[in-house]
Amino acid sequence: MTRQRIQRSDREWRELLTEEEYRVGVKEGTERAFTPGNLNDEKRPGLYHCKGCDTPVWSSEHKFDSGTGWPSFWQPAEPGIIETKTDFKMIIPRTECHCAVCGLHMGHVFKDGPPPTGERWCINGVVLDFRPQE
């Protein structure tokens, strides 16, 4: 499904997000592992929506316990809803992921996840809103 892209000014982001959501989502930061309320321990069926645009980006069907302290998924909710780019902030390049609709930074994807993809999408819960399945 193709969705219309959203672009926001820095001012709009600051009005929409809390300071921590802005630091992580716009400035491409990382929340601390095991942060209370970061959705790592959320076990109910449902969808995780982007706080920047309300797009459903992750599904509980693809969530697994990676033991890392961040919500982890083996694939996005639908193809093309998450985009990636190379992150050179650490010594070793990593693959950073963003919402394809608004560009909000979500986290990183690694090649050490479970089948069927072998991927671990390690996501900052602070940039997500969880909606339980009705």
List the strands of the sheet with 56-59, edge to edge: 56-59, 46-50, 128-132
Active site residues: 122
CB 120 within 8 A of CB 109: yes
Residues 6+ apart with CB under 8 A from 85: 95, 96, 98
